[in-house]
Chains A and B, each alone.
Chain A
């Protein structure tokens, strides 16, 4: 007898019959059929999976296999995306597996309130991804190019004098000139990175003005994404659907902010990045306040 478990993709408020209908022809993980398990006004999209593949030990092994990871991720996404197209959908994290459907109903019952609140939060909103790249050459050359490095340094005046203060042989010495040139180049590189970071801040700031909320993902691995240059922004924005066009327009406009800057818009996504309650400032402030009341460290001044 083969042991099985219930893989859960997403939780939605859609009617189970309509959900099942939407899932016709959509293959789940490992090619499994996708079913709807409904309880307490919520519908979970699930598949029956073999524990030989989705059991704990097997998963630890399989998750390290990129081909397995990719096909599982794409199947998971296909179900989530198909569901999100017909009803408000809360995606679950990859590989959430229960013993059986009954356990899924229990979870829907136990955490129903939490899921309902999360569904309310994402209703009428869609996730969009924005990735920003800076071309290092363009960001460096717009300031002082290699040939202009000396002049760039001199233009800073005060800094230049500060440097020569320590140079006892004067600016005409080849050694000093070399060092000055090196410093100027380093400063140019620093300036370029600083400007790229400032660009990313401004883009994020302006997009946050339109979005209901946002989340920053870690920069992507260039080997996987194939991108060149500096990845300066990898963010997700939860945008009210009536503002989606404004958001897209803002991305297009901001991509012209500066030469050498490139923005990529991805989406619409089911709200993966916003399925969890933000752990944000509210929680942290609360914790900090409690901290000051209950434990006064030696660092607490009067």
Chain B
């Protein structure tokens, strides 16, 4: 019944990101638990669903890592830039050949 969660290779420990004694990174878990799973509206948690679980918990994550906020923003922008960059490709074709 013990199922081993393997990482190839094992991710570097990132402070609170990797749990004590377990090798599942919290970030990987939160990707799934906050944005995945069946969404059924509980009696008690009706407005939690409205507020958006991801947003609430994101505040927790950001609050816990408040130093270097700028770097986070920079890294977040990386993927956006990758996209922008794909869009920018056609501009080359506009150049005279």
A interface, CB within 8 angstroms of B: 5, 8, 11, 22, 51, 54-56, 59-60, 63-66, 69-70, 73-74, 76-77, 81-82, 85-86, 90-99, 103, 107, 111, 115, 118, 129, 131, 158-159, 162, 190, 193-194, 196-197, 217-227, 230-232, 234, 236, 251-252, 255, 262-269, 272-276
**A222 interface neighbour in B24, B37, B42, B71, Cβ under 8 Å:** B71
| CB under 8 Å from chain A, chain B span 61-82 | 61, 63-65, 68, 71-72, 75-76, 78-79, 81-82
Q: A51-B44, A74-B19 are in contact. Are A93 and B59 (CB under 8 A)?
A: no
Q: Is the CB of B13 within 8 A of A226?
A: yes
Chain A residues near B92 (CB, 8 Å)? 159
**How near does chain B come to A255, taking the closest CB pair, in angstroms?**
8
B3 contact set on A, CB distance < 8 A: 81, 85, 268
Chain B at the A interface: mostly helix, strand, loop or mixed? helix
Whole-angstrom distance between the alpha carbons of A252 and B9 in the complex?
Answer: 10
Partner among A115, A159, A226, A264 whose Cβ is within 8 Å of the Cβ of B9: A264
Asked if A226 contacts B14 (CB within 8 A), the reply is yes
- 19 more A-B residue pairs beyond the given contacts A64-B59, A66-B63, A224-B14, with a C-beta to C-beta distance below 8 A: A63-B48, A66-B60, A69-B30, A70-B26, A77-B29, A111-B40, A118-B38, A129-B28, A162-B96, A190-B85, A218-B31, A223-B71, A226-B14, A230-B82, A263-B8, A267-B5, A269-B5, A272-B37, A276-B36
Whether A93 contacts B82 by the Cβ 8 Å rule is no
CA distance A193 to B65 in the complex (A): 27
A-B contact count (CB 8 A): 225
B26 vs chain A, min Cβ distance (A)? 6
Contact A93 B37 (CB under 8 A): yes
Given contacts A81-B3, A94-B37, A194-B89, A225 and B82 within 8 Å (CB-CB): no
Question: Closest chain A residue to B62 by CB distance?
Answer: A221
Query: What size tier do the contact residues of chain B reach?
Result: 35 or more
Is there contact, CB below 8 Å, between B38 and A269? no
Partner of B95 from A11, A162, A252 at Cβ < 8 Å: A162
Given A222-B75, A224-B61, answer yes or no on A91-B38 (Cβ-Cβ < 8 Å).
yes
| B60 near A8: Cβ-Cβ < 8 Å | no
Q: Return the contact of A92 from the options B8, B38, B64 (Cβ within 8 A).
A: B38
Contacts A70-B16, A93-B36, A115-B38 given; indicate if A98 touches B76 (C-beta within 8 A): no
